[in-house]
Amino acid sequence: MYAAITTAGLKFVVTDRVGRFMMFALAIMVPWADLPWVAYHLTTVTYTAITFGPPRGATRIGAYIEWSAQLGSLFQFRIGGSPDGDWDLGINLFAMLLLLFAWTYNRLPPALPSGATTPP
pLDDT tens track for 27-86: 888 888 888 888 898 888 777 778 787 766 655 555 677 777 788 888 888 888 766 666
Report how far Cα 10 is from the mean position of its chain's Cα atoms.
17
Domain ranges of the chain: 2-107
pLDDT tens track for 96-113: 888 888 888 766 666 666
- pLDDT range class, residue 120, cuts 50, 70, 90: low
Q: 101-120: b or e for each residue (b if 16 or more CB lie within 10 Å)?
A: ebeeeeeeeeeeeeeeeeee
Kindly give, in sequence order, each residue whose CB lies less than 8 Å from that of residue 5, ignoring residues fewer than 6 positions away. Answer: 25, 28, 29, 44
What is the per-residue pLDDT for 59? 55
The CA distance from 117 to 115, in Å, is 7
CB 56 within 8 A of CB 86: yes
What pTM, to 2 d.p., does this model score? 0.68
